[in-house]
Amino acid sequence: MEVFTKKITLYHQVLKLNAEHKSIGLVPTMGALHAGHLSLIKKSKFENDVTIVSIFVNPTQFNDASDLQKYPRPIQTDMALLKNAGCDILFLPSENEMYSPSEKWDYEVGAIANDLEGVYRPGHFMGVTQIVYKLFTIIPAQKAYFGQKDYQQFLVIKHLVAHFNIPMVLVCCPIVREADGLALSSRNIHLSEPQRKKALLLHKTLSFIKNNYSKLPIDKLLQKVRTDFETEDDVQLEYIAFRDKYTLKPIVTINKAIVLIAAQVGNTRLIDNIMLD
């Protein structure tokens, strides 16, 4: 596995690979890798000649300074996982390498970024599009791989790619879960054992909806969900939403629906979702 820390060096390496007609898959991450990330790498390796993984904890997408400070950064463990997974190239830049002091970014995605996560994490998607645009410019790959757990983010990035006419295919890969259903997340490390058990309420909620949406109206489903969360201490529901999976607008038909959920478990914020069709 080759490791690059400089933008220009990696950019020229990618141009060389493209000139050799090598297909390239990019997996952007913030590190603290787990089996979910490894599934993206596996998918990329299956579909491309070369797989590039980036690790960069992007400061502009954090609206809470303490959240940025406590974000896990186990770089040596991550590098070992990447080598075992067969990653070809790791891009590991510093903050100074990615951002200049006077830099500005004013791209606005629009309505799709103003709801759900946009409400609870103001400015988050502005930072996401800023760093992703940089990565797509530095690494002109043919495909980029993202996890379904951050589904709204995936749709925001699709808007970015369309707006700037970036010739890259975006691939959304299924959520990877623990055996008990908990969606894998780098933030799970902050959960105590009792909190981890309480965090299962998110997946149980989505499973309940999946099993009952054809039997009960949406208002009854939501009433049951809110009651379940109100009776669980140390867990605070932020939102539960039925949305069109292509636009995230309120659903017209349940056959194109995704259900998205976010909650605070102790001091840890978790998100999850499930497709209904």
Provide the annotated active-site residues. Answer: 37
The Cα–Cα gap between 131 and 48 comes to 23
Quote the tokens at residue 26: 């990019």
- Measure the CA–CA gap between 206 and 87, rounded to whole angstroms: 33
- Measured CA to CA, the distance from residue 108 to residue 160 in angstroms comes to 9
Going across the sheet that includes 257-265, the strands are: 235-244, 257-265, 268-275
User: What pairing do the DSSP bridges indicate for beta strands 24-29 and 50-55?
Assistant: parallel
Q: What is the DSSP letter of 139?
A: S
What sections of the chain are H helices per DSSP? 7-19, 35-47, 65-70, 75-85, 95-98, 117-120, 124-138, 151-163, 193-212, 218-230
3-state secondary structure of 53: strand
**Cα–Cα distance for residue pair 206/240, rounded to 1 Å:** 9
Angstrom distance (rounded) from CA 274 to CA 260: 7
In sequence order, what are the residues at sequence separation of 6 or more whose Cβ sits closer than 8 angstroms to the Cβ of residue 162? none
Do residues 4 and 10 touch, judged by C-beta distance below 8 A? yes
